[in-house]
Amino acid sequence: MRILIAEDDSILADGLSRSLRYDGYAVDVVADGSSADSALQLQSFDLLILDLDLPLMHGLGVLRLLRQRNTPIPVLILTAADTIEQRVKGLDLGADDYMAKPFSLSELEARVRALTRRSAGNSTTLLKYKRLSFDLNGRVARIDDQPLELSARETSLLEIFLSRCGRMISKNQFVDLLCEWGEEVTPNAIEVYIHRLRKKLEPSGAKIVTVRGLGYCLEAENRSDSLAA
């Protein structure tokens, strides 16, 4: 999952990005509204965390242009000016959630998880596929209730496969979904990560299929989602 943070407070932006990266997200940061608008036109993101009082272009202007382009990504607004009128205006323009500064980091992380789940089409917090389960909150994979040891990159790959089960994903799409600006991860490196993940998933019965020239997909048969207890 890839997140764009548009926030001109460098200390806040750094703290948010560190926390979200620790949770396994790829995070890019911009400090003004114009840069946010450009980034949203050039790159696909799974979530936009948007401050309203941005230089060069107000956050509501960024949101308005985003929705005029019919870009469906969820938007979480952050603002120090928490008024009913401003909330209504932001939600009417297409924001999905709203948080007033100062806020609890744990609450923001929970809202991010909820918005990215919804964006991926998952209404539940636990995904099940054959003998494999994946906790979206803790980002822990298990085979028959036994924890599966995965690297951070392998965990992110598994989350992408499960959230797009049965859909073809190209190597370049994986690069876009996994990597922040400045990261040099090649399609060949993605192939290596997927090979390692495939070997670790073998005992679960989950099968990652390679279609030459197109990419990879997780076979869709017998997949079910269930709500975490």
Q: Which fold, 126-226?
A: Arc Repressor Mutant, subunit A (1.10.10)
How do the pLDDT tens digits run along the chain, 229 residues long? 789 999 999 999 999 998 888 887 888 999 999 999 999 998 888 899 999 989 999 999 999 999 999 888 999 998 887 677 777 888 888 899 988 888 888 899 989 988 887 766 655 677 888 888 888 777 889 998 889 999 888 988 898 888 888 888 888 888 888 777 767 778 888 889 899 999 999 888 888 988 887 889 888 755 444 333 3
The amino acid present at 57, given as its one-letter code, is M
Q: How many CB atoms lie within 10 A of CB 208?
A: 18
Q: Scan for tokens 């924890």, then name that residue.
A: 147
Q: Which two tokens stand for residue 9?
A: 């407070």
Domain ranges of the chain: 2-119, 126-226
Output b/e per residue, 104-116; b: 16+ Cβ within 10 A.
eeeebbebbbbbb
Indicate the SS3 state at residue 126: strand
Our CA angle for 24, 189, 6, nearest 5°, is: 40
Domain at 2-119: CATH code: 3.40.50.2300
**Helix 33-42 and helix 59-68, axial crossing angle in degrees, nearest 10:** 20
Provide the whole-model pTM. Answer: 0.67
